[in-house]
Structure 1
Amino acid sequence: MLRKMTLWGLVALLSLIIPAAAIFIWQRSWWTLVLFVLWTATTWIIVWLMERRKHQEHCDRLLMHAQLSSIRTLSHHRHDWLNELQILYGYLRLNKLDKAVDVVDRIRARMEQDSKLSQIGLPDLAAFLLSFRTVCDTMRLDVDVEDGLYLNRMAYESEKLSRTIIGLVNVIRFRAVNPFGGENVLKLIFYDAEGELKIKMIYEGELAAAESVVVELDKCLEGIGLVDQGDELAEKSQHARTMVIHFPLPA
């Protein structure tokens, strides 16, 4: 508690030494005891007001950070939609209807993906996944959520599950190396396997210290999940790997 207290709060508490010293010096005087009681009450009121103000300022900073993050996410999405609309407009002007249909299908797929993410059931995880494009420029994140899958309705601790999944993504994110050509892509596939949550992680691209990725993923799981590294993509590219994260049901 003392570590989190403001400097002026600590000074106010230390000031209690003055009435305490008065009691010690004038032990037979009644006014020293009254002074100590009034001084103590005043000090705690001052400390409470300071800590309340500090807490309010902290909440205001968190709120401002969340608002700025939301604005950046919306701005980034608006930029993406404008790009898609410009491409669509160009194909329509050139009368390339087949290409225009492909753009519309791509827009619809992204809208469906964002809709599923917003309803995944874990607000902090949904916010992280939806805003990922605004915070990471080393890889693209694609997410596919099984229809009807709501993580908050599964038998897991929501906060811990959300923190773990964010950690798994960040392991890959922080190891992704800017490619000279092409693009790094991490795809997450969420699905229900007989009541248990499974996440297939498919990564294609460059990774720094790739040999220790599984070890880092295990650390993120904190004992609530298991990593199964697949090898079906290894034949296609030396820079591709598939991992399936199993979340056994709590005992």
Structure 2
Amino acid sequence: MGRLGLTKRGSHMMFRKITLWGLAALLSLILPAAAVFIWHRSWLALIVFVIWTFAVGAVLGAIERRKHREHCERLLTHSQLSSIRTLSHHRHDWMNELQILYGYLRLNKLDKAVEVVDRIRTRMDHDSKVSQIGIPELATFLLSFRTVCDTMRLDVDIQDGLHLDRLPYSAEELSRAIIGVVNVIRFRASNPLGGENVLGLSLSEAEGRLTIVLNYEGELVASDSVAADLEKCLEGIGRLDQGDEPAENSRQARKMVIHFPLPA
């Protein structure tokens, strides 16, 4: 019964992927099949049926290649637009900092100008660590987070010299897990009435294991299911240690630690 249900679901999904032209090509096989049935002793009818079948297969293959090409083009366009938004957002941030720096220099407030330069240097060092994390998908997600989320600020702290691609884990699994745990908090962060929702994400490796620390301060929706959803994101490759439960007030403070024991 289970196999039958699986087969039916697979057939249904395959049918949904067939376009009208593909369906018309498949239905056209009825004609040569009928000819073979009527003139079953004729070699010509059989030859026509075989050639027609190959032609239908070629048409379906061309349709599938076109759909795949269009899908890839949509993904590429989405990626390009995301990169443009990220660069535009970073350019806006840098322009704001430069304008503040210029203002302090005009007013001859050198101590304030030094603070701005230190802040710019810290941000540049932060972005450099993120870009060198070793997993392009994860680096892109972290660098562009400010452009896709307006309900929560993400503060990332990465240990010096940490390269996730050098750890004995699948880069795809690590990327999916880290992006997943951030999104669990992101999709529950509600617009605060006062203050700001902030998620601190710290990544470090020591004593044979990768450790991720989540420090969240802000308002959460459905916070009682956060731990369960985080464990789903880990998919058995990490272990979640919860901190103290948040106090019952409008602003919630929560700390969670995720350990990824590295295989010997």
TM-score range, shorter chain: over 0.9
Matching residue of 1:139: 152
| Residue 60 of structure 2 corresponds to residue 47 of structure 1 | yes
Cα gap change, 1:2 to 1:249, in 2 (>3 Å): farther
Matching residue of 1:219: 232
In 2, Cα distance between equivalents of 1:31 and 1:211: 71
Amino acid at match of 1:207: L
1:36-115 to structure 2, matched below 5 A, reads 36-115=49-128
TM-aligned CA deviation for residue 231 of structure 1: 4.0
SS at match of 2:215: strand
In 2, Cα distance between equivalents of 1:111 and 1:23: 73
Equivalent position to 1:243, from 256, 259, 262: 256
SS at match of 2:17: coil
Matching residue of 2:24: 11
Tell me whether 130-139 or 174-183 shows the greater mean CA deviation.
Answer: 174-183
Return 5+ residue gaps in structure 1 as ranges. none
TM-aligned CA deviation for residue 5 of structure 1: 3.0
In 1, Cα distance between equivalents of 2:194 and 2:24: 59
In 1, Cα distance between equivalents of 2:129 and 2:44: 69
Q: Runs (4+) of structure 1 moved beyond 3 Å?
A: 231-234
Q: RMSD of aligned C-alpha atoms?
A: 1.9
TM-aligned CA deviation for residue 250 of structure 1: 4.4
Equivalent residue pairs, number: 249
Matching residue of 2:129: 116
In 2, Cα distance between equivalents of 1:45 and 1:238: 61
TM-aligned CA deviation for residue 67 of structure 1: 0.4
Cα gap change, 1:57 to 1:246, in 2 (>3 Å): same
Preserved contact between residue 91 and residue 99 of structure 1 (Cα < 8 Å)? yes
Return 5+ residue gaps in structure 2 as ranges. 1-13
Preserved contact between residue 162 and residue 204 of structure 2 (Cα < 8 Å)? yes
Amino acid at match of 1:57: E
Cα gap change, 1:180 to 1:94, in 2 (>3 Å): farther
Tell me whether 47-56 or 130-139 shows the greater mean CA deviation.
Answer: 47-56
In 2, Cα distance between equivalents of 1:19 and 1:4: 25
Matching residue of 1:192: 205
In 1, Cα distance between equivalents of 2:135 and 2:263: 18
Cα gap change, 1:93 to 1:204, in 2 (>3 Å): same
Q: Percent identity?
A: 72
TM-score by length of 1: 0.93
TM-aligned CA deviation for residue 145 of structure 1: 0.9
Cα gap change, 1:17 to 1:233, in 2 (>3 Å): closer
